[in-house]
């Protein structure tokens, strides 16, 4: 049975938000108010409308950004425009944390309460906001990691807007802003984005379409958050991306060398500092030559799975089914991870160039950049970079005059950790709930829209540039034989200099912590984020490679390193990890849906007891953890027990 909303009607504002994205409706079948005689003779829409199902997520963003929430009337109108059953659209709208199907204030504050922020006073921040703005769930709400761990505690202020006070939603790139496309001055200092930066874009209807006003407050205080809640556009500007890169400007950097040295808005500045040399080399080598270089370089995925990139590209390119797609996974939501955000904010053109190379190598002519919804500054800079690359012939029908057509479309996520799993991400783009698919078939065979797809994260793609400019042999000489090249590490928690660090694979955990200035009272180190594992302070000799961490009985993951001092209550950290996985489980499979709840319940009980009294619940945790690891569909359930298990076995938690 389908779900219908009866007589619910969209408001003029809701209708305008949808029409700005999709264009005005052609007939009453699509929601036009007038019904001409032709509409009485045949139905219009049908297959053509259903083929636009992938615009459901941008459409939900359009309404949510304009009004602040998604009413039954707005959802019904969007469903009519796209010929999507209302029950399915309701399931999609309620899947994402950033959407609301109930009325809420136009301005909402998200306060991060995850691991890094918890160690930096987010509990006190929440208490202060409760006294000023009321209880959580009114004008402010608790949020999982916002990807601002180097500036914890963090808050994100979001205000729904109109064309007079907020920028554009949906999937269309933002056009260049006046005065942005220029070379940096000789002594360049990166400009920070204002909290409520207001840029505009055109929807498919050709109208100016609003995107919400946002203000990033980090480090956050109750006073700063309260002021931004009343006027997001008046918030203090964000600091430059270099604040997240303690090594900025140092010689020898490869992936971070341009951050802080170029104007991230300037294509000319990027090209003057080595930009697009790799793409020219790619055209010289040809698609097969590019794949051979990437394979010989030993480049593997940097998102945690460490799958050989060259093998993935070769498998995609060899598929006879057409078209092929390229997907950049920029939805990093692992607590403690923020490296991709820094790359996109500080060096956005490098990602555009790398995606173009990957598309060329795999035979794809369209790329989708799935960007985390909580990254407003990255959205602004990437939208601008795409528009400039397109205007200068570096994207479009004839890239660099080489007869190769390639373009990129940004799709904004909406707050779902599970969409970091590649097949869940495909479902999200296609307009479905972000639930993982069973494998096989694998994405290289049937991925996005059922076609061969190569999916890589931001750091993996950006590594392709030095592979081509340095050559495979020179790149492979960096690091170790099994883990080649440079690696980015996200260091946060109890350190003096939190941020992104670039080191060759093979550097030890101790060397990394020494760079970051670890505090003397170090009690535990979490590698790999919530899905990773804890190690002891006396294990800092672990080499930071995929094989080295594996031999040590832990994981490198995406490169998260979080240090915790003796004052941080370990049981509370474990409980927060369990809460995170319970919240983020998509609920599709029983082992994860039930197991994450049982894990949290057991940890709540254990927190009240210790020793023999907790033994039964620890045994239950092990049983539940094994079931999740063995039977869950995707990595979320398979890794939800890792951190808790390592804390019990390596750190003696609850002993």
Say what the pLDDT of residue 560 is.
96
Nearest alpha-carbon partner for 377 in 239, 272, 502, 561 = 239
What are residue 411's DSSP bridge partners? 370
Cβ–Cβ < 8 Å for 84, 14 = no
Would the pLDDT of 489 be above 90? yes
Would the pLDDT of 51 be above 90? no
| Nearest-angstrom CA–CA distance, 504 and 498 | 18
Query: Where in the chain is CATH 3.10.20.600?
Result: 486-565
Question: Span 486-565: which CATH code?
Answer: 3.10.20.600
Worst-scoring range by mean pLDDT, 167-176, 307-316, 418-427, 575-584? 167-176
Average pLDDT, the chain: 88
Question: Span 570-650: which CATH code?
Answer: 1.20.1440.230
Nearest alpha-carbon partner for 88 in 11, 2, 6 = 2
Place of tokens 């900025």: 248
Give mean pLDDT, residues 228-236: 84
Q: How far apart are the first and last CA of the chain?
A: 52
What does the buried/exposed string (b/e) look like for 372-381 if buried means 16 or more CB atoms within 10 Å of the residue's CB?
bbbbbbbbbb
| Nearest-angstrom CA–CA distance, 110 and 454 | 33
Question: Span 267-476: which CATH code?
Answer: 3.40.50.11540
Q: Is the dihedral of CA 233, 239, 242, 246 positive or negative?
A: negative
Query: Where in the chain is CATH 3.40.50.11540?
Result: 267-476
Place of tokens 């939501």: 333
Query: Where in the chain is CATH 1.20.1440.230?
Result: 570-650
Would the pLDDT of 499 be above 60? yes
Would the pLDDT of 297 be above 90? yes
Nearest alpha-carbon partner for 529 in 505, 553, 509, 559 = 559
Nearest alpha-carbon partner for 294 in 455, 470, 445, 487 = 470
Cβ–Cβ < 8 Å for 526, 554 = no
Q: What pTM did the predictor assign?
A: 0.92
Say what the pLDDT of residue 49 is.
65
Show Cβ contacts of residue 467 under 8 Å, excluding neighbours closer than 6 positions: 278, 293, 294, 297, 299, 475, 485
What is the percentage of the chain residues whose pLDDT exceeds 90?
A: 78
What does the buried/exposed string (b/e) look like for 567-600 if buried means 16 or more CB atoms within 10 Å of the residue's CB?
ebebbebbbbbbbbbbebbbebbebbbbbbebbb
Say what the pLDDT of residue 43 is.
56
Structure tokens at 477: 């000489």
């Amino acid at each position: 049975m389908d779900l219908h909303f009866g007589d619910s009607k969209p408001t003029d504002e809701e209708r305008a938000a949808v029409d700005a994205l999709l264009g005005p409706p052609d007939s009453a079948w699509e929601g036009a108010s007038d019904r001409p005689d032709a509409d009485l003779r045949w139905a219009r829409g049908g297959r053509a409308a259903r083929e636009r199902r992938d615009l459901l997520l941008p459409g939900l963003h359009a309404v949510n950004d304009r009004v602040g929430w998604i009413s039954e009337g707005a959802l019904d109108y969007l469903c009519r425009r796209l010929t999507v059953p209302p029950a399915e659209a309701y399931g999609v709208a309620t899947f994402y944390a950033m959407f609301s199907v109930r009325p809420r204030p136009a301005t909402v504050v998200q306060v991060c309460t995850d691991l890094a922020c918890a160690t930096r006073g987010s509990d006190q921040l929440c208490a202060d906001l409760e006294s000023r703005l009321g209880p959580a769930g009114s004008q402010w709400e608790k949020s999982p990691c916002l990807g601002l761990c180097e500036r914890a505690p963090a808050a994100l202020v979001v205000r729904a807007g109109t064309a007079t006070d907020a920028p554009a939603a949906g999937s269309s790139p933002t056009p260049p802003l006046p005065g942005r496309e220029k070379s940096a001055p000789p002594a360049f200092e990166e400009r920070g984005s204002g909290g409520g930066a207001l840029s505009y874009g055109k929807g498919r209807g050709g109208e100016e379409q609003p995107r919400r006003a946002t203000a990033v407050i980090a480090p956050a205080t109750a006073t700063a958050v309260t002021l931004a809640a009343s006027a997001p556009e008046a918030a203090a500007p964000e600091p430059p991306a270099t604040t997240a890169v303690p090594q900025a400007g140092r010689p020898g950097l490869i992936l971070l060398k341009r951050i802080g040295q170029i104007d991230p808005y300037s294509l000319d500045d990027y090209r003057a500092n080595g930009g697009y040399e790799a793409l020219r080399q790619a055209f010289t080598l040809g698609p097969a030559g590019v794949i051979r270089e990437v394979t010989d370089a030993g480049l593997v995925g940097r998102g945690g799975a460490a799958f050989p990139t060259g093998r993935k590209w070769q498998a995609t390119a060899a598929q006879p089914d057409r078209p092929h797609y390229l997907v950049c996974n920029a939805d990093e939501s692992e607590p403690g991870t923020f490296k991709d955000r820094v790359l996109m904010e500080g060096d956005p053109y490098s990602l555009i160039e790398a995606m173009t190379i990957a598309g060329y190598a795999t035979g794809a002519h369209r790329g989708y950049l799935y960007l985390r919804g909580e990254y407003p500054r990255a959205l602004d800079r990437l939208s601008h970079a795409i528009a400039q690359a397109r205007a200068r012939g570096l994207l479009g029908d004839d890239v660099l005059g080489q007869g190769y057509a390639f373009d990129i479309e940004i799709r904004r996520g909406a707050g779902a950790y599970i969409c970091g799993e590649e097949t869940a991400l495909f479902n999200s783009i296609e307009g479905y709930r972000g639930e993982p698919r069973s494998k096989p078939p694998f994405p290289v065979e049937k991925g996005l829209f059922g076609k061969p797809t190569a999916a890589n994260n931001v750091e993996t793609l950006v590594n392709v540039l030095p592979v081509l400019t340095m050559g495979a042999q020179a790149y492979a000489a960096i690091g170790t034989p099994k883990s080649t090249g440079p690696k980015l590490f996200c260091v946060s928690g109890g350190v003096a200099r939190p941020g992104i660090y670039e080191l060759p694979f093979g550097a030890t955990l101790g060397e990394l912590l020494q760079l970051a200035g670890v505090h003397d009272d170090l009690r535990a180190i979490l590698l790999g984020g919530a899905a990773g594992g804890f190690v002891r302070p006396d294990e800092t000799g672990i080499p930071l490679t995929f094989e080295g961490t594996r031999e040590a009985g832990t994981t490198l993951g995406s490169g998260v390193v979080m240090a915790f001092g003796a004052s941080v209550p370990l049981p509370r950290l474990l409980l927060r990890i369990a809460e995170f996985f319970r919240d983020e489980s998509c609920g599709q499979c029983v082992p994860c849906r039930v197991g994450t709840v049982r894990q949290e319940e057991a940890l709540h009980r254990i927190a009240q007891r210790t020793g023999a009294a907790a033994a039964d619940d620890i045994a239950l945790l092990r049983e539940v953890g094994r079931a999740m690891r063995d039977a869950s569909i995707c990595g979320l359930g398979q890794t939800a027990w890792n951190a808790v298990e390592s804390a019990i076995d390596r750190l003696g938690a609850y002993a």
